[in-house]
Homo-oligomer: A and B are copies of this chain.
Amino acid sequence: MAYRMSVKVLKDFILRSTQAQILMVIEDIHPADLLDAVRDYPKNKLDILNKLPEWAIASIIDEAEDDEKYELLALFESSNKQKDIVEEMSSDELADMLGTLDTSEANDILAKMDKEDAEDVRELLSYAPDTAGGLMASEFLSVKDTMTVKDTLDYLRTSAEDAETSYFIYILDEGNRLKGVVSLRDLLIASSDIYVSEIMNANINTIKDDMDQEEVAHIFRKYSYHIMPVINSAEEMVGIITIDDVIRVIESESTEDIHHLAGLQEDEKVTDTLKESVGSRLPWLFIKLLTALLACAAVARFQGTIEKLVLLAAFIPVVSGIGDNVGNQTLTIIVRGIGSGDLNFQNYKKVLLKEIGVGICSGVIMGSIIAICGFLWTRNVLFGVVVLVSMIVNLIIAACSGFIVPMILKRLRKDPALASTIFVNAITEVFGFIFYLGFATLLIPYLE
């Protein structure tokens, strides 16, 4: 039943068909699939795009990534064609596109638009991209609270083609302040001569236009909303946010966490070029290098001890490896706990104590095993003791730094995941090595 073609079939179909043939089916092809076909076509993309009507090109650009939108639009040399396409784009995607351009380029495009549409987009552009205003679209269905059910249904029948969705109709007063909402279903059930204000739901959860996008995502998640109205500081309704926009926020938050924990920029992609990848990863590697040289200096400080018992050097990777692992486990749990709100002012002490507990338990268990290995190797009980105690101390340090580093970053209003793996590992290794080799130095007369 479903009418989905593979990218290749779709591409070939467009290239080989006449415009008339394409027009007959184009409404049944999802713009996301059309975008795939365009992306997958290695030659001049106009070969495909020129066969499509303006509204379809606009919907393809709507689907594209922010920095890809203008590349597609700029393919068309005719200023009139660009104008026609831009007029069919949705306001939020257009604003996202203009956000990637210089002011002069953006103004060129705004100048091509209807005054009213340009005004809408200018308003969207005035919002920071990571706020509710930056996420919302201006196209929504609204009626005045003085309208009847019949007026509203007539309005819906005859106009309002543009709206992002028609699930809900918002009721505004004469000052555009949001008074309530009705669903199409409510309208159907109501008798036609009463005012919409009599059947509207006046108890609406709204989003303030300057709300941070992570907070927006949190509200959508918690209440399972699909659409929410956005109001400005004057309580005027200025737009709607739909859940598909929120999904992108949720995904980019997770990607940011994962990337920052691994020492990557949040926007690096597997398809980036070598130059882009090296450029974006090197800064993190430099930080890692500095911390690694610190660890190196910590070990070098105990050259004399290692000279007397070289086997101590062999256990360096064990001390740092297990320590890093425990530190990363705690760090990840804490970063995600901060992100989800599960870690908060009420429970942070309890969580810290638990993580220290995990460090002690892991230290005793792992330390005992390593101590036995060390003893079997050296046949010296004291060597086992050094390894056991060092491992316990090391894992307590790992757990504490895995907890404290993201909490400090959070307090500094930075992303708790930002380079935190590097810092946590550095703290664990430097103090871990100092304790391990320092303790061995004290006991070296009995270890040799």
Contact = CB atoms under 8 A, between A and B. Distances in A.
A295 B318 contact: yes
24 contacts: A2-B203, A156-B185, A166-B184, A184-B184, A251-B254, A258-B258, A258-B336, A259-B332, A261-B262, A262-B328, A268-B333, A270-B337, A270-B340, A271-B351, A282-B362, A282-B365, A289-B369, A295-B318, A296-B318, A310-B313, A313-B316, A321-B425, A324-B324, A325-B422
A318 B317 CA distance: 11
A-B residue pairs, 8 tightest by C-beta: A270-B337, A254-B254, A262-B332, A313-B313, A292-B321, A300-B314, A295-B317, A224-B244
Interface stretch (A72-80, A100-108, A110-118, A353-361): A353-361
A418 B320 CA distance: 21
Interface of A: 1-4, 28, 30, 32, 153, 156-157, 166-167, 178-179, 183-185, 188-189, 202-206, 220-224, 226, 231, 235, 242-244, 246-247, 250-251, 254-255, 257-259, 261-264, 268-274, 277-278, 281-282, 284-285, 288-289, 291-293, 295-297, 299-300, 303, 306-307, 310-311, 313-318, 320-322, 324-326, 328-329, 331-334, 336-337, 340, 342-343, 347, 351, 354-355, 357-358, 361-362, 365-366, 369-370, 373, 377, 421-422, 425, 429, 433
A347 to B, nearest CB: 7
Number of copies: 2
A43 B288 CA distance: 49
B221 A247 contact: yes
Nearest to A228: B2
A339 to B, nearest CB: 10
A447 to B, nearest CB: 15
Q: Which of A243, A250, A425 has the most CB of B within 10 A?
A: A243
Contact of A1 (B235, B246, B311): B235
Contacts of A311: 300, 303
A207 to B, nearest CB: 9
A4 B343 CA distance: 22
B296 A314 contact: yes
A325 B320 CA distance: 13
A367 to B, nearest CB: 10
Contacts of A355: 277
A299 B313 contact: yes
Contacts of A268: 333
A224 B326 contact: no
Contact of A288 (B166, B314, B321): B321
A173 to B, nearest CB: 11
Given A4-B205, A243-B243, A311-B300, A281 B317 contact: no
A419 to B, nearest CB: 11
Contacts of A429: 317, 321
Contacts of A273: 354
A258 to B, nearest CB: 5
A188 B156 contact: yes
